[in-house]
Each structure stands twice: as structure tokens, then as C-alpha cells.
Structure 1
């Protein structure tokens, strides 16, 4: 069940830059190592509903229900645009500044979780990713899906922590210039807006 092929596939998927990685980098640059851990934890737990949906077969319902898919999708688009705005404002939650803020960890984790929860494509993605690596025994399929999902979550947390710690370590070097901070904030805002645009174009089918 756990094969080199699955581990390599999962690692390639996790390490590819996406919305969760972008959020973790922004938070880590703005708030440091502690925030990086909370961001990674939140993004990881945001995967749970999608893995549960794939395991229970609910992902197929989401995949075929245009109305449900569209509702979740537009909620995700609105949330990503809000994150883009939070990157631009001087007091925004994701703005990078020389002054190091210390937000409650639960708030950082909650934002990270919502990024994944409000992405309807993740359920369909796991429905496609996990079954090829199952043993083929229907009696153990649910247990195997859960186990593979837990491995995927573990990899997600480790990789995201790595991204976050690297960003936190680079913080002091990058934040010595007001011009660099403005560039970072605008870049994060543009990337979140671009990801919102990409999500808006997704279709249930």
C-alpha cells in the first residue's frame, strides 16, 4: 500500500508552490518562525475535510453537483481576494513589515485551514490521487485511504514547515529596505489575486 511511487507522487504534489505555500511564506516573512509552524498546521488540517470527502465518496457528489461546487468555489475566490487585500494594507494580516507582529496561533492556523477548505478541487483531486495506490481489497479500502491520507498530511506539514522556516530565516535580510517590503506585499497580493482568478475558472466537470 505504501510504495515509493506513492511517496514520490505525494512529495511532488506537496512541494509544488500553491496557495498554502504562498500563505505560509507570507506569514513567515511577516511574523517569524512561530507563525510558520501555525500556518503549516492550519494548511495541513484544511486538507482533512477533502480527504474525508474522498474516503466517504462525497467528493463524487461535489464533482457532479454544479451548484454545490460553484458555491464553494466562489467562497474560495472571495477569500483569496480578501487575502490579497490583507497583503496590501499596512495593518493587514499578511502584510510584510519591519515590525514583527505576534498574532494568536489559532487565528493564523484558521486562515490557513480555510484556504484549503474553500478549494472544491481538492476533494476531486484526492478522489483521483489515492485509489490507484490501494490494494484492491474493498474490505480495507476505507482504512487504506485514511492511512494514505494521513501520510499525505504528514508530508504536507513537514514541507510547509520547511518553507516557513526558510522564509523566517530570510526575514531580517529581506526587510531592511522599505522598497523590498513594498515589492513583497505587492507580489503576494498579485499572486493571491491570480490564484483567485484561476479558481474562478475551475469547473465541476
Structure 2
């Protein structure tokens, strides 16, 4: 229970994954919000695996490896900010999605972007390596299996919470897209937030 409560606080706290999911739900509807939630969740799996197998410890001790991954993440966040700002496509309220012809492309782009956001975040890797061992006893005979169980709980909780964010954003979509000025400022706000998160990561 202590682990679940702590993990819930961590997952609910807004970050790049939450921002990505909310942006997808607002701009492309329920399906995109759920797809983004799934993509962000999938992006946590390599991080959890790295913590379990000890790869995160190598990343923590290797300054070069950490810096490379960090700046790849910074570059990707800045690219997300730029692409969001340049996105001039119109939004429609048709069944809570974009027009049918653009849905497949949107789905693939959303899930790839969501996965990359978490995969290229070294802070998430270090979070796993620092967070999971706190809930495994020193005398635990099956420590790896225990960490795998905790990681699975964290991943499932991430999916549920992020899906909730995506659906909540999608319910507000009709009110947002009926106001072109709001849409423009919304995109600027998302772009600025992505850029700010990239800057924060660069100086972490």
C-alpha cells in the first residue's frame, strides 16, 4: 500500500508524459488521448527493465552516457515544441476525433512521440533505480522478481492515470476547438511548456 500511494503521487504529478497525453486528447480526441497514454506507458518499460537489470547503475556512473541520453531528450523536447508551434492543421469535433482520413497517421505519430518522450528521459531511469530498491528488503531472497512486480504495478498505474488525463482532456475538446484563438494559444502554451521542460532537463 505504501508503494502504491507513493507511486500514485509520482504518476499524477504533471510531467512530460502527462503533458503529451493532455495535448493529444485536446487536439485529436479520445482515441489519441488513450493512444498517447499507452505510448507513454510503453516508454516506461525500458526504464523499468534498465533498473531491474542494473543498466541504470551504469548510466548513473557514466557521465558521458548520461549526458548523451540527456541531450537527446532535450533535443526531442525542443523538436516537440517546434512541431507543436508550427502545427496549423484545423481541428474538428467529429466524434471526438480528427477526420477519418488522418486518423491512422495521427495514431502512429502520437504513439511514437509518446514512447520517445519517456525513453529519452534519463531522469526517469534514475528515478526507477532510486525508487524501486526502497521497497525491497535487504534480505529479500527474490529481489529481482520483487522489483519486477513493483515495476508492473507502476506501469499499470501509469496507464490508468494517463488514460484518465487523456479522456478528461478529450471531454474539453469541443469547447476548445470552437474558439480558434483558444486553439492558437493552447498550441503556444504546449510548445512553451515542452521548451521549458527541455531547458530544465538540460540544466538538470
With normalisation by structure 2, the TM-score equals: 0.91
- What do the CA deviations read for 1:43-70 (whole angstroms, capped 9, x no partner)? 0010111111111111111011111001
SS at the partner of 1:17?
Answer: coil
Residue by residue over 1:73-120, the C-alpha shift from the partner in whole angstroms, topping out at 9 and shown as x without a partner, is: 1110010001101211134xxx7x423252353332111010000011
Displacement of 1:138 in angstroms is 4.4
Q: Which residue in the other structure is 2:198 paired with?
A: 196
Distance in structure 1 (CA, Å) of the matches to 2:121 and 2:44: 10
CA distance in 1, matches of 2:138, 2:31: 42
Is the Cα contact below 8 Å between 2:136 and 2:146 reproduced in 1? yes
RMSD: 1.3
1:9 alignment partner in structure 2: 6
Q: Distance in 1 between matches of 2:171 and 2:146?
A: 38
- 1:153 equivalent in alignment to 2:159: no
Structure 1: runs of 5 or more not aligned? none
C-alpha distance in 2 between matches for 1:21 and 1:187: 14
Q: Which is worse superposed, 67-76 or 137-146? A: 137-146
Residue in structure 2 matching 1:86, options 65, 83, 88: 83
Deviations 1:112-165 (A, max 9, x none): 010000011111111111111113334300000010000000000000000000
What pairs up with 1:32-71 in 2 under 5 angstroms?
32-71=29-68
Instruction: Decide whether aligned partners of structure 1 residues 112 and 66 sit closer, same or farther in structure 2, where only a CA change above 3 A counts.
Output: same
Whichever structure has more helix as a proportion of its residues is 2
- Aligned residue in 1 for 2:172: 170
1:12 & 1:138 partners in 2: Cα distance? 26
TM-score scaled to structure 1, two decimals?
A: 0.91
Residue of structure 1 in register with 2:91 after alignment: 98
- In structure 2, stretches of 5+ residues that fail to align are 93-97
Residues matched between the structures, number? 195
